[in-house]
C-alpha cells in the first residue's frame, strides 16, 4: 500500500541536564524497513505528527547490521538494536526511548563508557609478550574455540545491563557482559595467566556475587550469548579461588 | 623518548599502529568519532589472507603476491605487496597469540578457506565475523596500553584538520568533541590518518554510517594527494535495504555457494522447486576454472549484466540467487552454520529467510575504495613508509591507496589494514626521533581560530531551503548511478556538473539546529561538504581514465577480445616480449623466467590474439599508472598520472577462464 505509514513516539531530551519530553512522527512505510530507516526518514523533513517543525532526532548508530553495538535503545520497552528491529515485526505506535541505566547525552543517545571501563577493570586481554614474530600460538581444540567464539561476539551494546535489575545507580555491579569477557579470557591459554586478577575483581564489590539471577541478560542479548552460563562458571571459579586464597593464608 | 604521536581512527589500521607506537614506549593520543570498538572493521566477515600453505596445496607468499597483483590489474605498488604477503603468515600467528577465536581444524590448527581470485585455501577466519574478532583482539591490546597510561583515547571526537606549520609540516590536529561541539588543537610530532573508507559518498553502501570519508577529504583539501579515487569496489553480493546495503560475504561462495538465475526469467516457482536443469549457473558456465570464485569486479559485472542488460533477474527485479543450501553446495548444514553463522544471522534477521533452507536473493553493492590518500612508495632500503606528501602526516588502512591496485581480492583488506598499521607505527617512531622540535604556539591558535570560524559559519546556515540529509541522498544516487559498475564519459561529465551543483546548493542548507549537545545535523552538514569534494576526486579520475581496469569498467573503451578458441599464451606474442624488455630496462630488473617464457610445447599465438596483445600493450603503456588528484577550491580537481613501480613481475592480460 502506497500510503501505509509508520507511527513513532520518540522520547527526546535536549541535553544531559534537561527534562525529557515526547514527540510523535509519522513516516512513509517501505518494505523491510527497520527502526533506523524510519528515523532516517524523520530527518528528511523533521516535522512532528501535529505539524510542528522540530530539530532532527539524535541517535547513535554505526554498522546497521548488528555487529558494532552502537544503536541500542528501548523499543516498545525492550532493550535491543534498532538496526535489526524491523518495523513490520513491531506493534505500532513504536515507542523509542534511550537506555535508562546510562546518562542521556541527547534524545536516544547515551554514554556507555562505564562498559569500556569495566573491561579495563577485569583485564579483558591476552598478555602477549610483544608483537614481534615469535612463532605460532598454541593449538586449540575446535570445541573450545566454539565455546570461546560465542563470548567473543559480545559487542558491548549494553542490552544485558539495561535489562538487569541489579545494574543500577545504587550498585557497583559490573554486569553480565564483563563477566562473559572474564570467562572468555580465563579460557584462553595465555589469557588465563591473569585469571587470579580477574577473579579478585569478581569476588569483590560489584563482582559476580551481585548477580541476582534474574536471567534477563540472556533473554535480551542480541547475539544470543549464553551469559548465564558464564555467570555460573565464573561463580564456580570464584568459589574455588576463595578457597585457594584461604588455604594460602 | 620525547614526542607524541596522534592516530586518527580506531579500526584495524589505527589500532595496529597504536600498538606498535605504544610498544616502543611512545605515548599515543587515539582519536575516533565512535568508541574504537565500534569501528567499521567489525563488519568484515570472511577472513584474512596468508599463504601459510596449511592444506598441502603448495601455496606460497609468491603466489599470494601474483594473485594480488593480477587481481588488482597491476596498479598496486609491487614491492609493497611483496612485503605485505611475506609478512602475512607472521601477522596471523600474532593475531592467534592475541586470542582471536579463529576456526580450527579437528587437530586444533588454524583452518583456512578459499576466497575469490585464487585457487588456494589461503583465508583464515573466525566464523563469519572475522573483522569483529580481529578488531576486538587489537582493541584489547590497546586497552592494555591505555590501562598502562601509554594510550589516551579521545572517543566521540571528530577530526577536523591537520595543523600545519609555515613550512607545510604537520604538527598536530584540530578535533571536535561531538558531545559538546568544543574544538581543540592537539600537539604531535607525527600524525597518522586511519579513518577507513568513504562509503557514505555513495549514499547507501555496505559501509557503516560513520564512513563519510570526511577526514580523508579534509587532509586532501590541505594538500595531501588523493590517489586512484576512481577504483571503487562494488561487492557482488549484498542485501539491498532502505538504510544500507548489507554485505553477504564472499566466504559464502568460498564454502560452496553458487550464483544462479532461473533459465526462464518468467519462472515464478519457489527457488527450491527449480531443478538444476532449469537453473543458469552463469558464473560456472562462463568461468569453468574459477567458477563462482572469480574476482569481485568480474562477478559484479556478470550479475549486473544478467539483471540490467539481459533483464533476467529474479521476477524481473535486480536480484539473483546465491545458493548455499546443503543440497546445492554439497556441504553439511551444521558445518556451514559453524563457518558462516554470522552471515546467515544477518540474512535471517534482515531478509527474514533462512539461507540453509532457501537461496538468498542478492545484488551488487558499493563496498570498498581501493583508492585513497597517497602514501609514498618504499624507500631505498626497501622499507614501506606509509607517509603522505605532507611531512609528518602518515596514513594506513582503507583510507590510503597502495596495496590493492584496481581491484581488491577478498580477505586482503584485513591484511592490508593491519600490515599498514603495523608498518606506520615504527615509521612514526623513527620520524619523531629525528623531528623532536616543538612548533610555535601560534600555529595552533591560528588553526583553532580557522576551525571555530568554519563551525560558526555552518551553525549559522539557517535561512536556506535545502535539507542536508536529502542533499546527501542526491549525492549518493548520482554517484551510484554514474560512478559504480558501468561508467560512460557522458554520464561522468554530467556527474561532475551535478557535483558542482550540489556544492552550490550545500551553502543553502538549513542546519535547523544551533544547539550544543551532540548536534548531528550540524556535524553531518559539515561532513557533507567534504563528501562532495571527495566525490569529485573519484568522478574526475573515472572520467579521465579511458580504459577498463579492475573495478573501473568503461565499456566504450574495452579492448575487443578474440574468440575463446583464439586466446593463447601472452608470452608467445612479440608485442608482449617487447613490452617486458622495455619494463625490465625501465625498472632495472630482470623478471623471473616464468613470467616471460611459456612452457615448452605451448601453441603459437593466433594472429587475432597477437593483434589483441598489441592493443593490450598500448593500453598498458598509456594507463598502467597511478591517478593523483590535487584539490582545487571551487573547481574540479587537477589530475595527473604517475608510473607504478613494477619491480616484481610484469603485468599480464587479466583473463579469468
Where are the domain boundaries for CATH 1.20.58.100 in chain B?
464-544
Chain A positions touching B519 (Cβ under 8 A) are 58
Q: Which residue among A37, A44, A127 sits closest to B243, beta carbon to beta carbon?
A: A37
Q: What is the pLDDT of residues A142-156, one digit of tens each?
A: 999 999 999 999 999
Residues B457-480 have pLDDT tens digits of 999 999 999 999 999 999 999 999
Q: Given an 8 Å threshold on Cβ–Cβ distance, is B38 in contact with A106?
A: no
SS3 of residue B43 by DSSP? helix
- Predicted confidence (pLDDT) at residue B651 exceeds the cutoff of 90: yes
Q: Is B296 a catalytic residue?
A: yes
How far apart CA B527 and CA B173 sit, in angstroms, is: 17
Cβ–Cβ < 8 Å for B247, A65: yes
Count Cα atoms within 13 angstroms, Cβ side, for A22.
9
User: How many CB atoms are located within 10 Å of the residue B262 CB?
Assistant: 20
Q: Which CATH number fits domain B235-366: 3.90.700.10, 3.40.640.10, 3.40.50.360, 3.20.20.70?
A: 3.90.700.10
pLDDT tier for residue B313 given thresholds of 50, 70 and 90: very high
ipTM reported for the complex surpasses 0.95: yes
Q: Do B467 and A15 touch (CB under 8 A)?
A: no
Task: Please check whether residue B266 touches A, CB under 8 A.
Answer: no
Give the closest of A16, A44, A191 to B469, CB-based: A44
Q: Nine-digit cell at B62? A: 609468491
Is A5-110 CATH 3.50.50.60? no
Q: Indicate which residue of B122, B218, B246, B296 is catalytic.
A: B296
Grid cell listed for B31: 582519536
Taking only residues 322 to 341 of chain B, the set having a beta carbon closer than 8 angstroms to any beta carbon of chain A reads: 338
Q: With an 8 Å Cβ cutoff, are A128 and B94 in contact? A: yes
Chain A nearest CA to B585, separation (Å): 36
* Residue A66 pLDDT exceeds 60: yes
CB-nearest partner of A105 from B179, B467, B513? B179
Mean confidence (pLDDT) of chain B: 96
Of A2-16, B217-231, B528-542, which range is least confident?
A2-16
CA-based nearest residue to B421, from B382, B395, B402? B395
Pairwise CB contact (< 8 Å): B520 & A56: yes
- B90 contacts in chain A (CB < 8 Å): 133
Check: CB of residue A233 under 8 Å from CB of residue A183.
yes
pLDDT computed for residue B198 by the predictor: 98
DSSP secondary structure letter of residue B209: T
- The answer to whether residues A142 and B105 touch, using CB atoms and an 8 Å cutoff, is yes
* Alpha-carbon distances, residue A32 vs A84, A85, B307, B489 (angstroms): 10, 10, 22, 35
Question: Do B84 and B75 touch, CB atoms closer than 8 A?
Answer: no
Greatest Cα-to-Cα distance within chain B, rounded to the nearest angstrom? 76
Q: Catalogue the long-range contacts made by A89-97 (C-beta closer than 8 Å, 24 or more residues apart).
A: A90/A35, A92/A6, A92/A7, A93/A7, A93/A8, A93/A9, A93/A24, A94/A6, A94/A7, A94/A8, A94/A9, A94/A35, A94/A38, A95/A9, A95/A11, A96/A8, A96/A9, A96/A10, A96/A11, A96/A35, A96/A39, A97/A11, A97/A73
- CA dihedral over B426, B72, B38, B123, signed as positive or negative: negative
B118, β-bridge pairs: none
**Contacting residues of B for A128, CB less than 8 Å apart:** 94, 97-98, 141
List of chain B residues whose C-beta atoms are within 8 Å of the C-beta of residue A67: 42-43, 129, 132, 342
B521 inside 8 A of chain A by CB: yes
CB–CB of B243 and A34 under 8 A? yes
Confirm or reject contact between B513 and chain A (CB < 8 A).
yes
Query: pLDDT tens for residues B149-158?
Result: 999 999 999 9
What average pLDDT score do residues B430-437 get?
95
CA distance A240 to chain B (A): 25
Average pLDDT rounded to a whole number, residues B352-367 = 96
What Cα–Cα distance (Å) separates residue B42 from each residue in A154, B10, B38? Answer: 12, 11, 7
Question: Could you tell me the pLDDT band of residue B1, with boundaries at 50, 70 and 90?
Answer: low
Q: What residue of A is the nearest CA neighbor of B520?
A: A58
Of all residues in chain A, the one with the smallest CA distance to B209 is A62
CA distance A232 to chain B (A): 22
Given CB atoms, is B465 within the 8 Å cutoff of chain A?
no
CATH 3.50.50.60 domain range(s) in chain B: 5-41+130-231+370-441
Q: Find the distance separating the first CA and the last CA of chain B, reported in whole Å.
A: 55
Range with lowest mean pLDDT among A179-188, B256-265, B561-570, B594-603: B561-570
> A32 and B243: CB-CB below 8 Å?
no
The pLDDT score that the predictor gives to residue B49 is 97
Q: Which of B370, B398, B402 is nearest to B386 (CA)?
A: B402
Q: What is the pLDDT of residue A1?
A: 47
Q: Does domain B5-41+130-231+370-441 have CATH number 3.40.50.720?
A: no
Separate counts of helices (H) and strands (E) for chain A:
8, 7
Picking from B47, B3, B11, the residue whose alpha carbon sits closest to that of residue B31 is B11
CATH classification code of A113-248: 1.10.1060.10
CA contacts within 13 A on the Cβ side of B208 = 25
Q: Averaged over B416-428, what is the pLDDT?
A: 97
Residue B37: which of A14, A130, A156 has the nearest Cβ? A156
At B655 the pLDDT is: 82
Q: Which fold has domain B464-544?
A: Methane Monooxygenase Hydroxylase; Chain G, domain 1 (1.20.58)
CB atoms within 10 A of CB B147: 14
pLDDT value at B605 more than 90: yes
Residue A23 Cα, gap to closest chain B Cα (Å): 16
Among B541, B510, B528, B525, which residue's Cα sits nearest to residue B623? Answer: B541
pLDDT tier at A2, thresholds 50, 70, 90: low
The residues spanned by each domain of chain A are 5-110, 113-248
> What residues does CATH 3.90.700.10 cover in chain B?
235-366
Q: How confident is the model at residue B9 (pLDDT cuts 50, 70, 90)?
A: very high
Q: Is the peptide bond before A93 cis (omega within 30 degrees of 0)?
A: yes
Amino acid at each position: 500500500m502506497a500510503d501505509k505509514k509508520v507511527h513513532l513516539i520518540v522520547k527526546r531530551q535536549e541535553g544531559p541536564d534537561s527534562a525529557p519530553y515526547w514527540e510523535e512522527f509519522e513516516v512513509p512505510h517501505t518494505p523491510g524497513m527497520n527502526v533506523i530507516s524510519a528515523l532516517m526518514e524523520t530527518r528528511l523533513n523533521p516535522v512532528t505528527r501535529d505539524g510542528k517543525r522540530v530539530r532532527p532526532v539524535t541517535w547513535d548508530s554505526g554498522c546497521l547490521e548488528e555487529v558494532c553495538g552502537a544503536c541500542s535503545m528501548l523499543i516498545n520497552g525492550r532493550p535491543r538494536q534498532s538496526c535489526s528491529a524491523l518495523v513490520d515485526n513491531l506493534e505500532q505506535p513504536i515507542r523509542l526511548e534511550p537506555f535508562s541505566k546510562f546518562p542521556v547525552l541527547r534524545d536516544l543517545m547515551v554514554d556507555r563508557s562505564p562498559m569500556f571501563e569495566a573491561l579495563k577493570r577485569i583485564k579483558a586481554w591476552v598478555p602477549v609478550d610483544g608483537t614481534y614474530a615469535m612463532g605460532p600460538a598454541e593449538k586449540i581444540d575446535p570445541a573450545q574455540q566454539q565455546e570461546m567464539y560465542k563470548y567473543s561476539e559480545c559487542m558491548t551494546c549494553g542490552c544485558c545491563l539495561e535489562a538487569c535489575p541489579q545494574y543500577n545507580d545504587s550498585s557497583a555491579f559490573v554486569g553480565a557482559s564483563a563477566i562473559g569477557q572474564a570467562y572468555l579470557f580465563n579460557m584462553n591459554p595465555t589469557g588465563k595467566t591473569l585469571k587470579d586478577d580477574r577473579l579478585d575483581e569478581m569476588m569483590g564489590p560489584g563482582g559476580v556475587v551481585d548477580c541476582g539471577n534474574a536471567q534477563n541478560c540472556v533473554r535480551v542479548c542480541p547475539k544470543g550469548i549464553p551469559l548465564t552460563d558464564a555467570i555460573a562458571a565464573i561463580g564456580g571459579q570464584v568459589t574455588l579461588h576463595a578457597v585457594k586464597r584461604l588455604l594460602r593464608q | 623518548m620525547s614526542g607524541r604521536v596522534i592516530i586518527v581512527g580506531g579500526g584495524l589500521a589505527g589500532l595496529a599502529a597504536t600498538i606498535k607506537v605504544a610498544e616502543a614506549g611512545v605515548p599515543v593520543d587515539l582519536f575516533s568519532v565512535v568508541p574504537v570498538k565500534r569501528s567499521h572493521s567489525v563488519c568484515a566477515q570472511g577472513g584474512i589472507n596468508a599463504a601459510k600453505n596449511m592444506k598441502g596445496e603448495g601455496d606460497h607468499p609468491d603466489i599470494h603476491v601474483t594473485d594480488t597483483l593480477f587481481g588488482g590489474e597491476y596498479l598496486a605498488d609491487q614491492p609493497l605487496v611483496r612485503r605485505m604477503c611475506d609478512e602475512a603468515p607472521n601477522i596471523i600467528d600474532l593475531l592467534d597469540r592475541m586470542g582471536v577465536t579463529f576456526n580450527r581444524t579437528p587437530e586444533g590448527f588454524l583452518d583456512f578457506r578459499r576466497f575469490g581470485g585464487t585457487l588456494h585455501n589461503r583465508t583464515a577466519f573466525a566464523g563469519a565475523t572475522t573483522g569483529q574478532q580481529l578488531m576486538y583482539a587489537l582493541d584489547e591490546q590497546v586497552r592494555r596500553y591505555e590501562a598502562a597510561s601509554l594510550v589516551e583515547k579521545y572517543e566521540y571526537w571528530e577530526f577536523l584538520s591537520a595543523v600545519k606549520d609555515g613550512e607545510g609540516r604537520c604538527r598536530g590536529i584540530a578535533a571536535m568533541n561531538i558531545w559538546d561541539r568544543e574544538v581543540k588543537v592537539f600537539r604531535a610530532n607525527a600524525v597518522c590518518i586511519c579513518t577507513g573508507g568513504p562509503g557514505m559518498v555513495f549514499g547507501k553502501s555496505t559501509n557503516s554510517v560513520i564512513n563519510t570519508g570526511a577526514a580523508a577529504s579534509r587532509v586532501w583539501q590541505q594538500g595531501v594527494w588523493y590517489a586512484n579515487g576512481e577504483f571503487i569496489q562494488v561487492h557482488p553480493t549484498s542485501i539491498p535495504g532502505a538504510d544500507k546495503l548489507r554485505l553477504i560475504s564472499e566466504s559464502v561462495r568460498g564454502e560452496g555457494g553458487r550464483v544462479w538465475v532461473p533459465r526462464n526469467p518468467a519462472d515464478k516457482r519457489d527457488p527450491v522447486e527449480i531443478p538444476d536443469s532449469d537453473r543458469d549457473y552463469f558464473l560456472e558456465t562462463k568461468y569453468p576454472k574459477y567458477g563462482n570464485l572469480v574476482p569481485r569486479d568480474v562477478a559484479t559485472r556478470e550479475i549486473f549484466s544478467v539483471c540490467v542488460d539481459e533483464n533476467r533477474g529474479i521476477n524481473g527485479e535486480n536480484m539473483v540467487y546465491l545458493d548455499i543450501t546443503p543440497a546445492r553446495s554439497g556441504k553439511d548444514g551444521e558445518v556451514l552454520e559453524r563457518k558462516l553463522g554470522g552471515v546467515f544471522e544477518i540474512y535471517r534477521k534482515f531478509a527474514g529467510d533462512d539461507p540453509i533452507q532457501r537461496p538468498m536473493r542478492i545484488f551488487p553493492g558499493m563496498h570498498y575504495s581501493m583508492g585513497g590518500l597517497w602514501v609514498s612508495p618504499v624507500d631505498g632500503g626497501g622499507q614501506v613508509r606509509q607517509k603522505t606528501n605532507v611531512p609528518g602526516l602518515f596514513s594506513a588502512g582503507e583510507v590510503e591507496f597502495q596495496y590493492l591496485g584496481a581491484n581488491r581480492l577478498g580477505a586482503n583488506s584485513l591484511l592490508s589494514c593491519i600490515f599498514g598499521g603495523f608498518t606506520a607505527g615504527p615509521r612514526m617512531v623513527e620520524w619523531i626521533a629525528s623531528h623532536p622540535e616543538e612548533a610555535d604556539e601560534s600555529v595552533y591558535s591560528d588553526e583553532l581560530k580557522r576551525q571555530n570560524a568554519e563551525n560558526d559559519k555552518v551553525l549559522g546556515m539557517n535561512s536556506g531551503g535545502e535539507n542536508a540529509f536529502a542533499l546527501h541522498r542526491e549525492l549518493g544516487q548520482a554517484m551510484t548511478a554514474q560512478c559504480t559498475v558501468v561508467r560512460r564519459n557522458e554520464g561522468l561529465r554530467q556527474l561532475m556538473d551535478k557535483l558542482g551543483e550540489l556544492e552550490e546548493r550545500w551553502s543553502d542548507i538549513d542546519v535547523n539546529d544551533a544547539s550544543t549537545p551532540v548536534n548531528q545535523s550540524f556535524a553531518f552538514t559539515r561532513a557533507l561538504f567534504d563528501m562532495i569534494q571527495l566525490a569529485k576526486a573519484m568522478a574526475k579520475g573515472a572520467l579521465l581514465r579511458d580504459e577498463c581496469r579492475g573495478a573501473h569498467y568503461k565499456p566504450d573503451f574495452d579492448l575487443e577480445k578474440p574468440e575463446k578458441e583464439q586466446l593463447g599464451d601472452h608470452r608467445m606474442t612479440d608485442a608482449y616480449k617487447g613490452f617486458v624488455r622495455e619494463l625490465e630496462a625501465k625498472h632495472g630488473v630482470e623478471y623471473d623466467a616464468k613470467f616471460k617464457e611459456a612452457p615448452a610445447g605451448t601453441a603459437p599465438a593466433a594472429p587475432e590474439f597477437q593483434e589483441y596483445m598489441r592493443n593490450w600493450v598500448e593500453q598498458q603503456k598509456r594507463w598502467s599508472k597511478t591517478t593523483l588528484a590535487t584539490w582545487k577550491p571551487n573547481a574540479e580537481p587537477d589530475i595527473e598520472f604517475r608510473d607504478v613501480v613494477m619491480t616484481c613481475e610484469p603485468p599480464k592480460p587479466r583473463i579469468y577462464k
